[in-house]
Amino acid sequence: MNSAAEFRRPVPPLGEAILNALPNPVLLVAPDGKIVDANIAAESFFEISTQFLKRQSLKELVPFGSPLLALIEQVRASGSPVNEYKVDLGTPRIGGDRQVDLHVAPLTERPGHIVVMLQERTIADKMDRQLTHRSAARSVIALAAMLAHEIKNPLSGIRGAAQLLEQQASSEDRMLTRLICDEADRIVTLVDRMEVFGDDRPVARGPVNIHSVLDHVKRLAQSGFARNIKFVEEYDPSLPPVLANQDQLIQVFLNLVKNAAEAVADLGTDAEIQLTTAFRPGVRLSVPGKKTRVSLPLEFCVKDNGSGVPEDLLPNLFDPFVTTKQTGSGLGLALVAKIVGDHGGIIECESQPRKTTFRVLMPMYSTTKPQPDPSKRDDVPGTPAPASQDTR
């Protein structure tokens, strides 16, 4: 009789198992530049199988003249490991912007063979930018409080004085007093919009079906500002509920879709907005004062094929008063970032011509384990905590 062990799948060697467990792409490069071996993460990074990778030369996978090729030759000549940071390995096939940190070392057991490990900077930079958003939120909250208490009252007096002068002014002077009143009203309206950033009350949250939210936003958009724009939906129907406030989520995605519609307004029949949802385990945020971390496995994206966001604006896109619109106030995306932060989530923008993506990562609703409430943290209400990367 055959034992059960005879029918088990063969267990891979320990070294191979450890290599495949690593979240970072690892390649073994032969002296002639051919790829000898690769782990599972490398398959995902280059979007081809290991068997196909083994038939490729490294220079066929990376951009022409890539610093990685020179780095390998340097390591091969010196026999010492070398690290290099923020190297772009993007190609049209795997994506136009794929910045990585390179860790290159010789394999002493095989002379001339080089081990290359890639560490994508996308997640790390995303987390760093969240800290920038926290700092911006502090500034906005302080500014909102100052504006509300120190500016609105004097403006009321200025407007009242202008109205009194208007009663006795000539027709020409009356135009100037009316201008004073209109500008005072405009400043008050701006201050009122700013005051929302100072609202640090806890957000009432519960289970929300994100697809219902996106469908509602889509209907609103198609009945108004996005009437002639094509919508493409790629949803994961098995997605669990998100832990959120439904009204605020509608506000977030309505704002993002409106921005996308304005970005593609000049494309005519080629204008397209894509809405996607997916489950992406691996990103967690640490919460100050707690040992637990908040997992952010739910990914919601709003994509458009517009001209893209200028590269110099990307790092500060969610700061207040930063805008590409001639008549915009620059508060819409800042408010979006605040709401997402209030929910303990992350929002990030990736942009290149004809492909701009606003990506929101959120916690899912759980009935078995209480969720940490980011609104009760000791640092800044309504902003994400410092983040750490588990796997990606």
pTM of the model: 0.55
pLDDT band at 161; cut points 50, 70, 90 = confident
Average pLDDT over residues 202-222: 90
| 3-state secondary structure labels for all residues of 160-206 | HHHHHHHHHCCHHHHHHHHHHHHHHHHHHHHHHHHHHHHCCCCCCCE
- CA-nearest of 115, 119, 117 to 101 is 119
Torsion of CA 251, 255, 256, 257, to 10 degrees: 100
pLDDT digit string, tens, across residues 333-384: 888 888 888 888 888 888 888 889 999 999 888 875 444 544 444 443 333 4
pLDDT digit string, tens, across residues 291-323: 566 678 899 999 999 988 888 787 778 776 666
pLDDT band at 129; cut points 50, 70, 90 = low
pLDDT digit string, tens, across residues 236-275: 999 999 999 998 899 899 999 999 999 998 998 899 999 9
How far is 350 from 367, CA to CA, in rounded Å?
Answer: 33
Question: What pLDDT score does 170 carry?
Answer: 85
pLDDT at 392 over 60: no
Question: What pLDDT score does 252 carry?
Answer: 93
Question: What pLDDT score does 51 carry?
Answer: 84
| Candidate ranges 40-44, 125-129, 182-186, 354-358; pick with highest mean pLDDT | 354-358
